[in-house]
Amino acid sequence: MKKFFGAFLAALMMITFTACGNSAAEKNSTPEAKPADKILVAYFSCTGNTKAAALEVAEILKADTFEIVPAQAYTSDDLNYHAENCRANIEQKNSAARPEIKNKIENIEQYKAIVVAFPIWWGAEPRIIDTFVESYNLDGKIIVPVCTSGGSDIQTSAANLKQLCKGANVLDGKRLGILSKDELKAWVASLKL
Ligand SMILES: Cc1cc2nc3c(=O)[nH]c(=O)nc-3n(C[C@H](O)[C@H](O)[C@H](O)COP(=O)(O)O)c2cc1C
């Protein structure tokens, strides 16, 4: 009888320990990371042209949007490129300039692709765009540069962003604001995001 009780107790303890062990593992196990399957359109715009173009792209892609807000807003004096030493000109002349950004994207992991929209300043992306791409781990993501401008194209900016986002797949991008709605839709579809 004593022997039987001993064996019974041992079996009971084993069941209890196993059960406890399982529930602890369940509690400690991290939930599986969600696949990065969403698209974000992030834009910087001082006078509204890029914002309008970016929101059109976001609508076509049914993407989330994020406005890149400078910590220090750009005044019209800051943007007056006729004045040699206006803030925008000083920043563009200095490739190391990284104007601060006020806000941050939450859960960037959920995005597989980010459309980065900006105006062309002195032939290239504003330095705040460099701040933006350097603020996140973009490894493995598709980056689509798009711009608005008075005439300059996207090539220099796309080349700069390819240098800055080495682990990402930076596409050649597009100058927007000059395409018809149908042309824009066709171009967006061609990205196969
Ligand atoms: C400082 C500064 C520099 C600019 N440099 C260029 C340029 O090199 N080439 C060009 O085509 N347009 C240039 N532009 C015009 C802007 O790219 C254009 O107006 C753009 O659509 C503005 O976008 P936003 O309204 O979203 O700020 C410049 C504008 C500013 C303020």
* pLDDT tens-digit series, residues 32-80: 667 789 999 999 999 999 999 999 999 999 999 999 999 999 999 999 9
CA–centroid distance, 31 to ligand 1, in Å, is 45
Ligand 1, residues 67, 81, 84, 87: which to mutate, most atoms within 8 A of Cβ?
81
Q: Which range (2-11, 18-27, 58-67) has the least confidence?
A: 18-27
Query: Do residues 176 and 148 lie in contact, with contact meaning Cβ atoms separated by under 8 Å?
Result: yes
Query: Do residues 23 and 98 lie in contact, with contact meaning Cβ atoms separated by under 8 Å?
Result: no
pLDDT tens, 177-188? 999 999 999 999
- Closest ligand 1 atom number to CA of residue 149: 17
Model confidence, pTM: 0.85
Q: Is 157 in the pocket of ligand 1 (CB under 6 A)?
A: no
Element (H, E) at 148: strand 142-148
Q: Is 168 in the pocket of ligand 1 (CB under 6 A)?
A: no
CA atoms of 91 and 136, how far apart (whole Å): 21
How many residues are present in the chain? 193
Rg (CA), the chain: 26
Give me the amino acid identity at 108.
I
Ligand 1, residues 149, 174, 176: which to mutate, most atoms within 8 A of Cβ?
149
Pairing of strands 174-175, 142-148: parallel
Ligand 1, residues 76, 90, 121: which to mutate, most atoms within 8 A of Cβ?
121
Neighbours of 46 (CB within 10 A): 20
Mean pLDDT of the chain: 89
What DSSP state is assigned to residue 70?
B
